[in-house]
Structure 1
Amino acid sequence: MAVKAKASKMNKKELYNVKLCQLLDQYSQVLIVASDNVGSNQLQNIRKGLRGDSIVLMGKNTMMKRSIKLHSDKTGNKAYLNLLPLLVGNVGLIFTKGDLKEVSEEVAKYKVGAPARVGLVAPIDVIVPPGNTGLDPSQTSFFQVLNIPTKINKGTVEIITPVELIRKGEKVGSSEAALLAKLGIRPFSYGLVVLSVYDNGSVFSPEVLDLTEDDLIEKFAIGVSMVTALSLAISYPTLASAPHMFANAYKNALAIALATEYSFPQAEKVKEYLKDPSKFAVAAPVSAGEAAAPAAACAAEEEKKEEPAEESDDDMGFSLFD
C-alpha cells in the first residue's frame, strides 16, 4: 500500500510538472497572486469567471520552482527564472492571453466578506459606527472593556460616537472578535490579490496596470525636460537640447552684432528697428466711439445746410403797419 501511495504521489507531481511546462509554453503573461484566506468555493468561482483566456494554477512553491527550473534548462529560456523570486508565501499563478488590466479587475470582483477571527492580522482599519446595536443592557461589559462610549436607549445599548476598534496591521483580540460577531459586522474581505505581473520575461508591479495614456505622456514629458536641463547644463547636444542651444547661440551672435559693426542677415532687421522704431509702427485701429463722433458732426452740418432760409418781412415791400 505504501508503494502504491508513493507511486501515486510521484505520478501527480509528474502530471503537475507537465501541465505547468505546457502553460509556460502557451502563455507569455502571468499574474502572481496571493491566495491567503481564499476558500475552495471562492477559488472555483474565480476559475469560472476567468474561463476562456485565463487559467488559474495553484500548488506548492517547491513544486512550481522545480518545474520552472527544469523547463528553463530544457528550453534554454532563462526569462522563466524571473518567476522564481516571486514564489514566496501562499501564492498562485494566473496564465492569461487577455488584457492584463481587465484580468486583474476581474479577479478583484470575487472578494468575499469574512468575520474578524481571533489572532488574524487586520488588513484594514475597523471602525464601529454609532447607532443602536440592538443588544440588551447586559452586554455593556463588552463595550466597557473596549472603552466604547454607550448609553441605554429604549432598553438597548446605543453607541454614541464612531470608534476605531482595530487598526490595520494589528492582531484581532478575543474581545474585538466577540463584539464584532455580536454586532453582525464582517469587516474584512478576501480574494486573490495580484502581487506581481510577468510579461515576456519582464516583471513589474500591478500598479503599472492602472497607468493611463495621459499618465505615460506626463511621465515622458518630465523625463524629456530632465534630459534637456542636464544636456544644457553640461553643454552636451541631444535631440531635446539642440533647439534651445541653437536659440541661445543666435541670441549671443545677435548681441555681438548689435554691440559691434559686425552684421549678418538675421541681425539687419533688428538693427534697422533700433535705428528708427517709427518705421515699424502700425496705425492703431480707430475705436467705434471715436469714429462715431466725426460722423455725427458731419450729419449735423448737412442738416443745417438743407434747412431753408426764413423769409424776412422786409422782402415783402411793406411794413407790418402799412
Structure 2
Amino acid sequence: MLTQQVAVWKKEIFGDLIELLEKYSVVAVADLQKVRSSQIQEIRKKLRGKAELIVAKNTILLKAAESIASKKGNIDKFASDLTGSKVLIFTQMNPFELTIFLGKNKVRVPAKGGDIATSEIVVPAGNTGLQPGPVISEFNEAKVQTRIEGGSIFVAKDSVVARKGDVISTKTASLISKLGMKPMEAGLALSYAYDNGLVFGPDDLAFDLDQMKNEFASAARLAFGVAVEAGIMLPETAPVIISKAYRQAVAVSVEAGFLTKNTTELIIQRAYRSMNALSAAISAVKPEALATQETASEVPAEGKG
C-alpha cells in the first residue's frame, strides 16, 4: 500500500515538473541543506505571482527533463549535473533578477543552537508575557536582569545576549524563541540556473550588487570624461562640451586682447591686474621711482600769464 502511494506521489511530481518545465523559461536550483520547511513556506509566499517553488529529487527532475529535451535545449544536461533533493524555482525572471529578488526578500527565522549571529541580538526591556517558573533560570544564565510584576516576567533593561559573529548557544536560542524573537535572516541561495538553453553555475550567480553598481558608475564616469575630452557630441555630453569650448574661446580671446562684448571687461581686468603687478615689481626694486612719480603728479601745472 505504501509503495503504491509513493509511486502515485512520484507520478504526480513527475507530471507537475513536466508542466512547469514547459511553462517557464527559467529553472533555478537551491540546495535543501540548512533550509527549513517553515522557511520554504515563507519564501513561497513572497514568490507568489512571480515564481513557483517545488521540492523534488534530482532523479525525478532528470526523467522529466529528458522527456522534453527536444523542446528545451540543454535541459537534460542541466538536470544531470544535479544531485540529491533540491528546491526548484520556476519563473520568467532571468537568473540574476531572481538572485536579487531572493536577496531582498529573505525571511526572519528563530535561532537554533550553533547558528552564527548575523547581527547583535538584544532582548528588549518590558513585559515578556511569560509566567514565573523555571524559565527565570534561563534569563539568569543569559545575564538578562528580570523582575516579577503582575504575574509576568519583566526584563529590567535592554540586554545583549549575542553579538555579531557569536555562536548562539542552545540555551540562548531556546530563550529567545520563547520570547518570540526571530533574529536570524534566511533565504534561498541559488546554486544553478537554466535560462533558455544557457546553464549558470554558482560562480556565475554569486555577485555583489553594490559592487556591480559602483563598477558601472565608475565606468560611466570614465566613459563620460573620455567622450567630453574627445568632443563626442551626445545628449549627455553636449552641454559640457559646449560650455568647455566657450570657456576656452573666451580665454584665447582675452589672451589675444580681442575685444568683444563678452571679453572687454575681462581684458580690462587683466590689464588692471598686470598694471598693479608691474607697479608692485617696480616699487620693490626702486621705491623712490614711484615716490617721485606720485610727487610729480601732485604738483599743479603753472598757468600762463
**Following TM superposition, by how much is the alpha carbon of 1:47 offset from its aligned partner in structure 2, in angstroms?**
4.0
In the TM superposition, what are the counterparts of 1:193-204 in structure 2 within 5 Å?
193-199=189-195, 200-203=198-201, 204=203
Asked whether the equivalents of residues 49 and 106 of structure 1 are also in contact (C-alpha less than 8 Å), the reply is no
1:63 aligned partner: 60
Rate the CA distance shift 1:161–1:21 in 2: closer, same or farther, 3 A: closer
2:258 aligned partner: none
Amino acid at match of 2:111: A
1:248 aligned partner: none
Question: CA offsets, 1:108-152, max 9 Å, x none?
Answer: 4544433335xx652634744265353677654113334x25365
Aligned to 1:32, the other structure's residue is in SS state strand
CA distance in structure 1 between the aligned counterparts of 2:166 and 2:194, rounded to whole angstroms: 29
CA distance in structure 2 between the aligned counterparts of 1:130 and 1:42, rounded to whole angstroms: 24
Rate the CA distance shift 1:89–1:145 in 2: closer, same or farther, 3 A: farther
Percent of counterpart pairs with the same letter? Answer: 15
CA distance in structure 2 between the aligned counterparts of 1:87 and 1:298, rounded to whole angstroms: 102
C-alpha RMSD of matched pairs (Å): 4.8
**Following TM superposition, by how much is the alpha carbon of 1:19 offset from its aligned partner in structure 2, in angstroms?**
2.1
Amino acid at match of 1:292: S
Aligned to 1:212, the other structure's residue is in SS state helix
Question: CA offsets, 1:161-206, max 9 Å, x none?
Answer: 5232896666x62x32442134332223444333444441342443
Q: In structure 1, list runs of 5 or more residues that go unmatched.
A: 220-284, 312-322
**Following TM superposition, by how much is the alpha carbon of 1:63 offset from its aligned partner in structure 2, in angstroms?**
0.9
1:289 aligned partner: 276
Amino acid at match of 1:150: Q
In the TM superposition, what are the counterparts of 1:204-223 in structure 2 within 5 Å?
204-208=203-207, 210=209, 212=212, 214-215=214-215
Aligned to 1:81, the other structure's residue is in SS state helix
Question: CA offsets, 1:201-259, max 9 Å, x none?
Answer: 3424433362536526979xxxxxxxxxxxxxxxxxxxxxxxxxxxxxxxxxxxxxxxx
Q: In structure 2, list runs of 5 or more residues that go unmatched.
A: 220-270, 283-288
For these two proteins, the number of residue pairs brought into alignment is 233
Rate the CA distance shift 1:297–1:38 in 2: closer, same or farther, 3 A: farther
Aligned to 2:108, the other structure's residue is in SS state strand
Indicate whether 1:31 and 2:28 are aligned.
yes
2:302 aligned partner: 308
Give the TM-score normalised by structure 1. 0.51
Rate the CA distance shift 1:149–1:43 in 2: closer, same or farther, 3 A: closer
Rate the CA distance shift 1:116–1:92 in 2: closer, same or farther, 3 A: same
Give the TM-score normalised by structure 2. 0.53
Asked whether the equivalents of residues 44 and 52 of structure 2 are also in contact (C-alpha less than 8 Å), the reply is no
Amino acid at match of 2:19: K
2:117 aligned partner: 124
CA distance in structure 2 between the aligned counterparts of 1:178 and 1:2, rounded to whole angstroms: 37
**Following TM superposition, by how much is the alpha carbon of 1:92 offset from its aligned partner in structure 2, in angstroms?**
1.6
